Structure 1
């Protein structure tokens, strides 16, 4: 459900509020691109958490990125609020939470927001918006949910994700640092460590799939963040793989990682922001999904430009460059939309634990043997 009120305006300064995780912010980039196409002379600013700003690096649709801590203190609010207060003609809040709501209220006289459903806590927020879209956590993909915010403005949708970008000189420097990434070398990128344990595949499966790729003649490139636990996990995989194996965990920026993935033969990753990033590059992506609902959160396929969800709720499936591999268990509970079998972020998920690496090998063969 959404409001039908039409807004007739030509904003000169627009704020888009996207206070979520890395992948969530990347999924706002079609919205940002649509705004840029509709209002080429406007200033488009984005408010994000500091830890996610790198996913927007080099984005040509953005004039300024404003950051705030995930857990702001009084001093952070004192610094941020003057930057927002009545500085914009139009504010769009892509989430229905309290902070996006209050920031939009402060920032602009015209506001469009995702709002909670009518019978839930926070239903009243729509009364302070000039247009709104009810947040749908089950039936609408996140890209389409964001784009619906544009309906009251009467502007066309844009469907392509915009990944972080490097300048040509920066790409050359990256290749010089890592000669193994230079053609004709064929390589696969594995991103084994999601933010939450309940999205993890097993260490044994990562090692097995890495060895399979190596035997197929590919160099294995491992990616990951700078966190101590993540680096230890990635190193444990690298230690069990034949040389040459390239461990980039914590060694490259998101923009550099994008360039690495863009030249890969295949990318394999769980439900995490880097998998969404890989999808945006157009390379073949094998995405490992368990509890998460693919209708809402599947990677957005490259060149998929339809106003309909690309993926169904249940089953392994392919759309364009995305090969979604969904774990299953006898209970038939997948996707449960919950945080693993124990219902918390550090839980294991039986559906992913039982997803054997041999279920991926036919997909890998299909991808590597494609003309």
Structure 2
């Protein structure tokens, strides 16, 4: 479920030192346009993580179809987040952009002549650069403080660090006359549900310990805490299933090996399932416990009982959008300061260890029928 593009230092440097001057230069030679009166094709650029794509594209497609009946909608993703596409509201075409090859990405965009092109990325300049070179009649994106990307677009919306990211995406859509979207909601395919039903029975809780992106380890709960929580749930007659991508498989096996419980009660399936199948696995669980990452947003979009573990990320900005979910953060240390994901102080030490097993267990009791152990 993860890809090596996510968090690559060379791509971040390219984006900053080449992307900024390129966007600024193009803005000087390209006139601004207005929303076309006739709209036949709409393109959506979503190059962020899976969670960002759930929060942006998922709610956007239904309201854009209502605002522009009959228009074709094309989705442009990176390889890193393309796996979530089958769970999103259907688009008419999916194109995976090779963002490490900008010239090829531009060619792919220009083949599809867009009347409106909306860039949902908040800080990377690559989305703005591709938008400006796309040949679209009208382009729309964020003006994000300090990121120097807004010059590329025909119209912009100021990106706010005071509201949930979903609200920022909703504000973008209002520029083209779309109504306010609802929170994202998803469901796995019937094929994925059948597969999970054939492989799983009984009551289990899903743990997702793995974050992604820049300094991901700073957003992860300590391994020992996960192991203690798993033992506590087994004592209460719940099995525990650890999820993750292929890159997490070995670490997940080591984590599970360190939990002294009867065989088969705690299992890792990291790297085993597609995102669609993982959604079905989550859907059949009693509850999901996850750090702030794509799986957390997926659990919320499935409207499942969810405990979301936050530390440097602010739940107000990035919390799960479901009344059945609860986000919790440590009560001490420096917390809730991340806006775009890279604003770590040089002397920052992870605060996640300050979130105790007892606090998470108490939150689980609120989310599900969890009796005390004998």
Give the TM bin, normalised by the shorter chain: 0.7 to 0.9
Which segment drifts farther, 105-114 or 260-269?
A: 105-114
Structure 1 counterpart of 2:125: 98
Q: Is the 8 A contact 1:30 1:158 kept in 2?
A: yes
Q: Is the 8 A contact 2:143 2:157 kept in 1?
A: yes
Structure 1 counterpart of 2:179: 156
The equivalences for 1:208-223 within 5 A come to 208-223=228-243
**1:328 aligned to 2:331?**
yes
Per-residue displacement from partner, 1:274-294 (whole Å, max 9, x unpaired)? 111111111111001001122
Change (3 A) 1:335 1:59: closer
Structure 1 counterpart of 2:253: 235
Offset, 1:231: 1.7
Structure 2 counterpart of 1:131: 155
Q: Which runs of 5+ in 1 are unaligned?
A: 302-319
RMSD: 2.4
Mapped partners of 1:284, 1:241: distance in 2: 26
Per-residue displacement from partner, 1:223-266 (whole Å, max 9, x unpaired)? 01101xx2222112322152322321100001100011012111
Q: Is the 8 A contact 2:46 2:53 kept in 1?
A: yes
**1:84 aligned to 2:109?**
yes
Mapped partners of 1:279, 1:353: distance in 2: 24
Structure 2 counterpart of 1:44: 73
Change (3 A) 1:241 1:324: farther
What TM-score do the two structures reach when normalised by structure 1? 0.81
Structure 1 counterpart of 2:196: 174
Q: Is the 8 A contact 1:340 1:348 kept in 2?
A: no
What TM-score do the two structures reach when normalised by structure 2? 0.80
Q: How many residues align?
A: 326
The equivalences for 1:311-322 within 5 A come to 320-322=323-325
The equivalences for 1:1-371 within 5 A come to 7=35, 9-28=37-56, 29-70=58-99, 72-73=100-101, 77-78=103-104, 80-85=105-110, 87-96=113-122, 97-107=124-134, 108-117=136-145, 120=146, 122=148, 125=151, 128-136=152-160, 138-163=161-186, 165-166=188-189, 168-176=190-198, 178=199, 181-182=200-201, 185-195=202-212, 196-227=216-247, 230-239=248-257, 240-242=259-261, 243-301=264-322, 320-329=323-332, 333-337=334-338, 343=346, 348-349=349-350, 351-369=351-369
Mapped partners of 1:123, 1:83: distance in 2: 21
Which segment drifts farther, 249-258 or 59-68?
A: 59-68
Q: Is the 8 A contact 2:128 2:150 kept in 1?
A: no
Change (3 A) 1:238 1:121: closer
Q: Is the 8 A contact 2:163 2:316 kept in 1?
A: yes
